[in-house]
Amino acid sequence: MIELPMDTSRSTISQATQLLEKQQQRSIELRASPARERLERIARLASAVRSEADALRAALHDDLGKPAPESDLTELFPVLQEARYLARHLRRWMRNRHVMPTAATLGTRARVRYEPRGTSLIISPWNYPVNLTLIPVLDAFAAGCPVIVKPSEFTPATSACLRRLINSNFPPEDAMSIEGGVETAKGLLDLPFEHFFYTGGGRVAGEIMRAAARNLASVTLELGGKSPTVIDQSADLSRAARILTWAKFANAGQTCIAPDYVYVHAAIAVDFQKALLEEIARVWGSEPAIRRNNTDYCRIVSTRHTQRLTELLADARSRGARLLFGGEADPAKRYIEPTVVWNPPAGSQLMQEEIFGPILPLLPFQDDEEVIAAINSRPKPLALYIYARDRKFIRRIIGSTSSGGVVINHSMLHVLHERLPFGGVGASGLGSYHGFYGFRAFSHERAILEDKFSPSRILFPPYTSLPRRAIALLLKVLG
Ligand code: NAD
């Protein structure tokens, strides 16, 4: 793991402490910032991304072996799309939302005003480092919050690029990116931010909540988990195979919403296996040597993670899981080929922890109750994918389970839908973002009520007969 020496992280934190004081001042100014100023910051960040696109692509290639088209599709495009969407709608979202009086508040006027939560710390992970750092920054800008950003130490080239991009385009009191590892992140967590926006593994999420609890700050937690896929016998199998081959193996499976494991109906399991393996061979290469040299295929982020994945595979095989495809790994080159295993036991590590790599377990199921029970026996996942034509089956699975999001007859596409909230539930996260939901994540919904001619004063003490009768009537009619 790359970690700043203790002294460096200490001096970084003392600089961050001073900076946060400035940002606290700035955040008061930003409360009244007009849409025009926020839109200008959003446009400036989008234009910096466009002009630094080549450097970002090169850094992503260095860190993760990401091919340029994949970086464009999954890192740069979502950021630019978010900027465009915010630019189109921000003025409307910032307007006060007037609400009708209720019977008990007749004679008043009320509205909801979105105001910035204030100084925000954004901690981001390594798997989509540009996307998962800059979309929260855009959402914070939309809401009028100053930010300190701490990208992941596991993608040093991209984190350095993000530092240059943010720090050379914004004054530090508006936005500052700080590089560093766990010690730096922990030091930042000790500072009195008003909002913590964390994307990463669940293990650290508890520490983020503890830090927020110390200051009673708000949090958004974008976590992961084992996102299941269910393939019913009514599904279009070749379509499911085509999409899973992309969704599971893009970024070498290191995607928070990647299908983690697949339940396939026993009646079509053999047909699906055949369709899937043919598709994997067509897309990623029919021979191990072709797959190894496929420049469209990413690398694992670190040797340690590569080893972790090879251990998961070895453990599953030792417990009786059958290898259907792939299995070759080269930890020194951070390479694991697309791998499919059949029916690993529930107790195997592969079925216990989030895989976060290019190993796909396929498991048979006989009826919906079995698959629903299996999904509900695990922590609530970030996404659930259902492949089926049978609407009743789809309704039953959705109605009996819980997850951050659901996609029917596709995978991962919901992350690109700007009008949908993106986030988890329970173990997969708290809160959501993207588009309006991102603006809302960094905003406080302030309730404002103005009295015009409310008759409420007749309810006040002293409780003579008039207020007594008025309260009794209120209870009877409106209670
Ligand atoms: P990581 O190791 O890069 O950690 C994420 C961030 O947390 C880094 O910036 C790191 O420096 C910081 N960090 C590490 N230890 C810390 C500590 N003790 N205190 C404070 N900060 C600390 O990334 P990761 O956690 O391995 O990321 C992978 C996980 O993230 C997976 O579980 C994945 O599903 C999840 N994820 C979720 C989303 C989402 O949008 N919901 C997106 C991507 C990844």
Report pLDDT digits (tens) over 187-203.
999 999 999 999 999 99
Where in the chain do CATH 3.40.309.10 domains reside? 228-423
Q: What is d(CA 376, CA 363) in angstroms, rounded to the nearest whole number?
A: 16
Q: Which of 82, 153, 173, 256 is catalytic?
A: 256
pTM beyond 0.85, yes or no: yes
Are the beta carbons of 30 and 130 closer than 8 angstroms? Answer: no
Mutate which of 256, 304, 403 for ligand 1? The one with the most ligand atoms within 8 Å of its CB, which is 256
CATH architecture of 228-423: 3-Layer(aba) Sandwich (3.40)
pLDDT at 7 over 70: no
Select from 9, 74, 152 the residue to mutate for testing ligand 1; criterion: most ligand atoms less than 8 Å from CB. Answer: 152
Using CA positions, which residue lies closest to atom 5 of ligand 1?
Answer: 125
Query: What mean pLDDT do residues 291-298 have?
Result: 96
Q: Is the dihedral of CA 407, 412, 416, 418 positive or negative?
A: positive
Cα torsion angle, 444, 427, 147, 128, sign: negative
Least confident of 5-14, 255-264, 440-449, 456-465: 5-14
Clarify whether 337 is annotated catalytic: no
Q: Which protein residues touch ligand 1 with a CB less than 6 Å away?
A: 123-127, 132, 150, 152-154, 181-182, 185-186, 189, 199-201, 204, 207, 222-224, 256, 354, 356, 382, 424, 429
Angstrom CA distances, 374 to 82, 213, 363, 426, stand at 36, 34, 11, 17
Domain with CATH 3.40.605.10 in the chain: 10-223+430-446
pLDDT (mean) for 408-434: 98
Question: For domain 10-223+430-446, which architecture applies?
Answer: 3-Layer(aba) Sandwich (3.40)
Q: What is the mean pLDDT of the chain?
A: 96
Does residue 349 register a pLDDT over 80?
A: yes
Q: 70, 222, 337, 354: which one is catalytic?
A: 222
Active site residue 256: yes
Residue nearest to atom 43 of ligand 1 (CA): 256
State which of 122, 127, 188, 428 you would mutate to test the pocket of ligand 1, scoring each by most atoms of that ligand within 8 A of its C-beta.
127
Residue 1 has pLDDT above 50, yes or no: no
> Which pLDDT score is estimated for 2?
46
